Structure 1
Amino acid sequence: METNALDQLRELRAQGGLEAAYDSVAALLGRAEIEDDAVALRRVGRLLAGVDPRRVLARHPATPVVTVAITGQSTVAPVVDPLTAELARHGILLRPVLGDHGAYVHDLTDPAGRFAGAGHDLALCLLDAETVLARVPEVWRPEDVERAADEALRLLADVAAAHAALSGGTLVLNTVPLPRSWSHQLVDHRSRAELGSVWRDFNSRLLRMSATAPGLVVIDLDPLVAEGGPVHDLRLAHYAGARLGTPLLAAYAREAAHLARSLRGATRKCLVLDLDHTLWDGVLAEDGPDGVAAAGTDRGEAFGAFQRVVKQLASQGVLLAVSSKNDRDEAVATLRDHPDMRLRDGDFVRIDADWEPKDGHLLDIAGHLGLGTDALVFVDDSAAECARVRRAVPEAAVVRLDDEPAAHVSRLLRDGWFDRVSLTEDDRDRNRRYRAEEGRRELRLRTGAAEDFLRDLGIEVEVGPPHRHEQARFAQLTQRTNRFNLAGRRMTEAEVSAAASGHDGKLLLAVRSADRFGDSGLVGALLARRTGDALDVENVWLSCRVLARGIEQALLGHALELARASGCTEVRARYVPTPKNGRAADFYPSMGFAEVFRRPGETVFAHDLIMIPAMPAHLRTRSNPAGGGAA
C-alpha cells in the first residue's frame, strides 16, 4: 500500500496536480498506513516539499498552514522532509524557514535575523552534543563538562527569553544524548559515572526550564533514542555536520508535528474503543463473559496492560467511550463484574454496544457529548470497521490494531492524539464535568421551554482578568475552541502572559461559570486592545459546552461596560469566517453592533456604547475573593 500511495503522489506531481489535490493527501496517507515506515515517510515528504503553498491555498483556502523556523547547532535541513510528511498526515501544510548553519543564537535573538518577520508558529532549535562539548578544553575532566553545561544552560535561557520577546511563536529545544565516543574517552568507570551524572543533570535542568519559560517546549530525545537506535551516522556527523541521524530526526519530526497540531487546536478529546480483541482477548458474543480475558495468560496480560494505559489517559482528562458489536447489557455487565477488568463501566461516558454500523456509533457519541467528530479517536482491530469509519466519518482519527496485543499500547500512543503543551486541573476534571453534563441534559428533557431550563439551571458567572495560574488554561481555550472562535485566532501561553501585562493597551477577560451541577471553571475569553478612544475586540472565544446559555452575552457586555467606563466612544470587532464558526456569525449584531464594512474573509462591526445590552436575566453574578472582576 505504501508503494501505491507514493505512486499516486508521484503521478499527481508529474501531472502538475499535487497542489490541486492537496486536500486528499491526508486521507491517502491515512489509508496507506505508512506511519511506521520512516523511509516511505521521508520520500513522501520529499515529494510534498516541492508543493507551492500559495497554489495550495488558492485552491483550498481552508487548509491549515504552520510556519516553522528551523535552526540548530548543526545541519538541520534533513528534518524538513519528515516534518512535511508528518504534518501532511494530519492535513497541515508546512511553510519552513531555514536558519543559517550553526547560527541558532543569531537566528533566534537578532531582530534583523533570518527569522525576523517570518511570523513563525514554531521555532525548532535542534541541539546536539556540541551544544555543550564545543565549550570543553582539548584535555578535559568531568568538571570541565559541568562548567560547559552551566554556560550552555545560561545561554539557552537567554535565547528563550529573547525569542519570547521577539516572537509570539513557540520555541522548541531538545535534550541531548551523551555520545559514547566522549564518555569512553574516560578510562575509569568512576569518572564515566560522574560524567553521566553531569550530563543527566544538564538535560534535567533543560527539561525543567520549560516549566518557568512561557512559550518554551523541550522534547526529550531519550525515549526516541531508546526506540529508534543510534543518535547519528558516524560519517555524516563528521563530514556533513549532521550530528542527529535520519531515524532520530524522523522520530523528532513526529513529536514536533504533534506539537504543531495541538497548538492549532486539533487535540482530540475522546477515545472510542472496541471491546473484542481490543480491550479484552476473546469475542464476548461467542465465548461468553467467562471466555474473555485481560489477565491470567500472556495474551490476556497484554490486554490488561492496554487497559492500564487507557485508564492513565482518562486520568488526564481523555474521555472514554465504547463502540462494540455486542449486546449492550452483556457488555456493560462484563465491564462491571469481570475480575480481569481494570476499566469498569463507570469509566466510560458513553457505551454504544449493539449490532448497528460503528460509524453511526461515532456520530451518536459525538452528538451525546456535544463534540465534533474531529474530537474522536476510534480504536479497533477490524480492518473493515476501520475502513468504514475512515470513509463515513473522515474527521475522526482511526487507530487500527492488529492481532498482536503486545503492540496495542505503542500503536495507540504513536500519534500523540491527546498531546498538549501543558495539562491543567481543568483537563483532569473533564470526566467529572461531562458526567455533570448528563444532569443538565436530564434537566433539559424534564423542562419545557428553554427559558425555564436556563432559569432552573441556576447559572452564575464571573468576568475579570485571568489569574496567573489560569494563563495556561486561557491559552488552551483559545487553541481548542473552534465553533465560537470569532476571528479564528489562537494564542500561546507566552502571548497570554504578554497580553495579561496590559502593555500596548491590551485587555484580557476571562469568564467563569457554575450552576447547580457544579463549577465549569474558565469557559470563555476575550482579547481586546485600546486604540485612542476606541476599544478593538480582537477575538472572543467560548467553550462549546456552555454555548447558548447567555454566558457569551455576559462576557461581551462586560467588555462594553468597561469600555464606556474608561472613556471609550466606540468598540470595534472583527468576525473572520472559518470552516467551523459559521453559527457565531450573527453574534456581534445580536449585541447591538452595526456592520461597518465587509470584505472577503472579514466583517468589521462597531458599537456606539449608547445602549449596552443588559445581562441575561437568568444569570447571576458571583463574587471572586481571589481578586478578579465580577460581571
Structure 2
Amino acid sequence: MDKKLKQLLKQANSLDELVDLIKQVDFSEIKSTEISLIDKSIKKLSQKPEFKIAYLGNYTIEPLPSYVNVFSVSEGIIAGEYIGSYQQYFQELLNPNSPLINYNPDLIYLDISLRELQPKIYYEYSSLSLDERKNSLNFIISHISDWLKVAVNQTSANILISNFLQPNFYQTGIADLNQEYGESEFYLELNLELLRLLKKESRVHLFDIERLASRFGKEQVQNAKMYYIAKMEWRENFLPTIARELIRYIKAIKGYTKKCLVLDLDNTLWGGVVGEEGVMGIKIGQGDPVSEAFLEFQRKIKTIKDRGILLAICSKNNINDALEAFEKRPEMPLKKSDFSAMEINWERKHENLQKIASTLNIGTDSLVFIDDNPAECSLVTQMMPEVKTILLPSDPATYSGLLDQLNEFEKIQILQDDLSKATQYIQNKQREDHKQQIGDMTSYLQSLGTEIKIWEATEEDLPRVHQLFSKTNQFNLTTIRYSMAEVEEFFRDGNYDLTVVSAHDNFGEIGIIALYLVDLREKPYLLIDSLIMSCRAMGRGIETAIVNHLKTKYLTNYPEIQLSATYIPTKKNKPVVDFFEQQGFEVVEKEETGTKKYILKSESAKLIDSSWIKIIA
C-alpha cells in the first residue's frame, strides 16, 4: 500500500473520510498488517457494531474478520466480530455463559476443515473400504446436524455453514471417476447432503466455498506451508473473495436489497443510437460479437427480474423510436412488458429517476441506475447520492460480468410474492388508469372489488413476515426490524398474535401485503406492537379495514380491554404520522422526537367506513 495512503488511513478523523480513503485501496495485493491497520481505524472511529458476526471453526480463521469489517464499512455497515476458540465451536454453544452466547451474534459463520475433522478422508481416502467411506460421510453430516440443533436452540443468529472443497487431485488419479464411491462422488454427495440438511431451517444457509474456490482458482486458495505453520486453511489472497461473499449475506439478511434496476437504452440495452441508426441498425442478437454481447446482457438482466427485482427505463430518447425497438426486434429477450416504469424523454435523468421512484412508490435509495454516459452518471451521483449509479465500461462483453459482481440484488430467499412483483406493479398501473377514467374516488374504490383475507400466520408465512418486517418503510408505524429468530419466537409464543393479510381485486392477486403483531402479555392492556403494510396496497382503505378487524376482534363486546399503540417517526414513514388519530386512537403522550403513544378503549372503538372492502377472516 502507498505510504501516503497508509498515513491518511491512520489519521482519518471521521468514518466518512475513512470510507472515502478505503475506496482508493487496491485489495489485490494488500497485506494482513495493512488490513489490520484499516480495521483498527474503523473501530476507533465507529460506535458499537450494528451487525455482530461470530466466526467459528477448527482452524485459524484470522485475519478474515478484518477483511469483512473493512468491506462492510464500505457498504455502510459497521460489523463486529467474535472469533471462537480453536476447535471449540461445539463447546462454546453448550456453555450458556460462554463468550459466544454472551456476544449474542446476528450471524454465525461456521467453516470446518475436513482434514481436521476427518483426517482419514482427507489423507487416506484410497485406503478406506466402501463402508468406511459411507460411514465417514454420515458422521460428518450427523456432526454438523447435531451442532446445528444446538446453535438454533441456543442463539437467535442467522447461521452460515461452509461446504467442502473437492480435492484438486484425486488420490487414485483419473481412475477415481471409475471407482465405486470414489472421492469425486464422496464430495459431491457430502455437499449435496449438507445443502439438503441446511434447507430445513429458515435461518440457516449454505456458504458455498466450493464455488468461490472454483471461481478464484482452486490451486491458489490454499497454502500448505501456512497450514503447517499456523493451521491457516486459506491463502490470504483468497480471503477478500470470502469476505465479499459474506457481505452479500449480510446485506440480504439486513434487508438492504435494492428494489429496482433502472437502465438507459442506447449503448446500454443495445449497441448504437436507435434515433440515428434506426430500429434495424442497433446491435442486438446473433451474428456479430457486439450484438451477442448485448444479447447476453439482456438475458442477464432478465434473471435479475426473476429474483423479484423491478426493471425500469430512464433514457433520453424519442419515445416512439425506443418503443419501436421493442416491437420490431423480437430477438431481444427483454420486452416492453418487463419494465414496470418508463421515463423516455429529454428531461434530466435525475428528475426522471425521481419520477420512476414515485411511480413505483419506492424510495430513490431503492434504485440502481446503469448508464454508458459518464456525464449522466456523474450528474446523477451528484444530485442523488443515495442511488447506486454504475457507469458501464467501454467493452459490452464485460457488461454481464458486471451485473454478477453487484451485491445490491441479493436475497436470502425468493418468495412467491417476489416472483409476482412485476405483474403486481403492472396491475397497479392498470388500477391507476382505471381511476383516471372513473374520476370519482368513491366510485373507483367500490369498482375495484377488493377482498382481503386475514389469518393467524402459519409456519409457511414466516419468511414473508420477516420480509415485511425487514423491508417495509412507508406504512410501518414503528419500523422495528425483527430478526427471523424473533419472528419464529412470536409465532411459537401464545402471548403474541401474529396475523397476516392478503388481498386481491378485479385486477388480480396482490399477495400477502400486511401484518400486525399484538402483545397479549399484559391483559387487559394489549399493545399493537407492529402494524405494517406494503406500499403497493396503500391508498384504498385496506389499512382501515385491518384496524376495524382489530377493533372488532379485541374491543367489541370486551369493555375491559384497552388497545395501546406507538408511532415512532423515521425519514420514510411520514405517510402514517397521523394514522392512529384517523382511526380514533387517543394520543396520551408525545415526545420531542415525534414519537407518539396512543390508547383506544372499547367505548371509543367506532368502526370507520371501509364497506367497499370484503373481509374474509
Q: TM-score, normalised by structure 2?
A: 0.89
The separation in 2 between residues aligned to 1:13 and 1:483, in whole angstroms, is 40
Alignment map for 1:8-27 (pairs within 5 Å): 10-11=7-8, 13-15=10-12, 17-19=13-15, 21=16, 25=19
Alignment map for 1:173-572 (pairs within 5 Å): 173-180=161-168, 183-184=170-171, 188-189=175-176, 190-191=178-179, 194-229=182-217, 230-294=220-284, 295-503=286-494, 505-533=495-523, 534-564=525-555, 569-572=561-564
User: SS of the counterpart of 2:429?
Assistant: helix
1:132: Cα distance to partner? 4.6
Instruction: Provide the residue aligned with 1:91 in structure 2.
Output: 76
**CA-to-aligned-CA distance 1:505-531 (integer Å, 9 cap, x gap):** 122011111222112111011223221
User: SS of the counterpart of 1:50?
Assistant: helix
The separation in 1 between residues aligned to 2:14 and 2:459, in whole angstroms, is 46
Amino acid at match of 1:94: A
User: SS of the counterpart of 2:518?
Assistant: strand
- The structure 2 residue matched to 1:156, chosen from 141, 144, 164, is 144
User: SS of the counterpart of 1:67?
Assistant: strand
Provide the alpha-carbon RMSD of the alignment. Answer: 3.1
Matched, 1:141 2:137: no
1:383: Cα distance to partner? 2.6
Change (3 A) 1:368 1:7: farther
1:263: Cα distance to partner? 2.1
User: SS of the counterpart of 1:605?
Assistant: strand
Partners of 1:214 and 1:497 within 8 A in 2: no
**CA-to-aligned-CA distance 1:463-515 (integer Å, 9 cap, x gap):** 22123332222211211112222322223444433322234x12201111122
Partners of 1:48 and 1:84 within 8 A in 2: no
Amino acid at match of 1:605: Y
Partners of 1:399 and 1:411 within 8 A in 2: no
The separation in 2 between residues aligned to 1:516 and 1:98, in whole angstroms, is 55
**CA-to-aligned-CA distance 1:168-223 (integer Å, 9 cap, x gap):** 22111121113336x32679534497111111111111122232112101121233
The separation in 1 between residues aligned to 2:553 and 2:10, in whole angstroms, is 55
- The structure 2 residue matched to 1:125, chosen from 110, 125, 128, is 110
Matched, 1:586 2:578: yes
User: SS of the counterpart of 2:283?
Assistant: coil
- The worse-fitting range, judged by mean Cα deviation, of 222-231 and 133-142 is 133-142
1:318: Cα distance to partner? 1.9
1:422: Cα distance to partner? 0.7
Aligned length: 607
Partners of 2:542 and 2:613 within 8 A in 1: no
Partners of 1:9 and 1:18 within 8 A in 2: no
Change (3 A) 1:65 1:450: farther
User: SS of the counterpart of 1:77?
Assistant: coil
- The worse-fitting range, judged by mean Cα deviation, of 305-314 and 550-559 is 550-559
User: SS of the counterpart of 1:419?
Assistant: coil
Change (3 A) 1:192 1:486: farther
The separation in 2 between residues aligned to 1:590 and 1:43, in whole angstroms, is 59
1:352: Cα distance to partner? 2.3
Change (3 A) 1:603 1:12: farther
1:52: Cα distance to partner? 6.2
User: SS of the counterpart of 1:418?
Assistant: coil
1:77: Cα distance to partner? 2.4
1:420: Cα distance to partner? 0.7
The separation in 2 between residues aligned to 1:491 and 1:388, in whole angstroms, is 37
Partners of 2:110 and 2:160 within 8 A in 1: yes
Instruction: Provide the residue aligned with 1:626 in structure 2.
Output: none
- The worse-fitting range, judged by mean Cα deviation, of 418-427 and 458-467 is 458-467
Partners of 1:596 and 1:606 within 8 A in 2: no
Partners of 1:42 and 1:85 within 8 A in 2: no
The separation in 2 between residues aligned to 1:328 and 1:598, in whole angstroms, is 50
Change (3 A) 1:391 1:285: same
Instruction: Provide the residue aligned with 2:156 in structure 1.
Output: 168
Q: Which runs of 5 or more residues in structure 2 are unaligned?
A: none
The separation in 2 between residues aligned to 1:270 and 1:82, in whole angstroms, is 29
Partners of 2:59 and 2:232 within 8 A in 1: yes
- The structure 2 residue matched to 1:609, chosen from 597, 602, 610, is 602
Amino acid at match of 2:276: E
Q: TM-score, normalised by structure 1?
A: 0.87
Change (3 A) 1:522 1:187: closer
1:370: Cα distance to partner? 1.1
Partners of 2:166 and 2:210 within 8 A in 1: no
1:288: Cα distance to partner? 2.4
Partners of 1:87 and 1:93 within 8 A in 2: yes
The separation in 2 between residues aligned to 1:28 and 1:556, in whole angstroms, is 50
- The worse-fitting range, judged by mean Cα deviation, of 184-193 and 439-448 is 184-193
Change (3 A) 1:247 1:562: farther
1:444: Cα distance to partner? 2.9
Partners of 2:308 and 2:418 within 8 A in 1: yes
- The worse-fitting range, judged by mean Cα deviation, of 550-559 and 365-374 is 550-559
Q: Which runs of 5 or more residues in structure 1 are unaligned?
A: 59-63, 624-629
Change (3 A) 1:256 1:305: same
Q: Percent of aligned pairs with the same residue?
A: 24
Partners of 2:496 and 2:519 within 8 A in 1: yes
Amino acid at match of 2:57: G
Partners of 1:215 and 1:492 within 8 A in 2: no
**CA-to-aligned-CA distance 1:409-467 (integer Å, 9 cap, x gap):** 11112122211111111111111101100112113323445444333333222222123
Change (3 A) 1:287 1:180: same
The separation in 1 between residues aligned to 2:368 and 2:66, in whole angstroms, is 26
The separation in 2 between residues aligned to 1:506 and 1:500, in whole angstroms, is 7
- The structure 2 residue matched to 1:575, chosen from 555, 563, 567, is 567
The separation in 2 between residues aligned to 1:137 and 1:559, in whole angstroms, is 60
The separation in 1 between residues aligned to 2:98 and 2:245, in whole angstroms, is 26
